[in-house]
Structure 1
């Protein structure tokens, strides 16, 4: 896990609106053979109830090391795996 400088990505939603997001972390899953990114929208880090907002996508890193292409996570099994990794990450953050 990389910590330190803020890494950001721009997400384009279904309506074509761009949202700047802070990357929490990225990880790879051998089970699915994919890389994943967990991110939170800048300025929209919390929902109406004050709970943190996290988004996740799978991504294909670009060959040149530049930003890759993001893909939605579609299966329930993948979501469960991503949530487990996120929860472990958040638990580790709380302990520091």
Structure 2
């Protein structure tokens, strides 16, 4: 396992219709480092966003999709990703990056 620092764990937020609906329940979706564990994701969210307390973390591994190279009959794959859905406690502060959306 690679030595991953907390600022390397969260790559970017996921902004979709489903993730926007989950924000009403204080659940936020992030793309995370493929080797990050649930405890590392929890630590990263609590350190990066002040005043937040994480109740639970659910992770999912998304395999890469098969794609055709433009103009030829060669095939390749996109990179595999990992998503994390982070649920905050009821008395926790909101995450600011999602407020303007």
Normalising by structure 1, we get a TM-score of 0.31
Higher helix share: 2
* Max Rg structure: 2
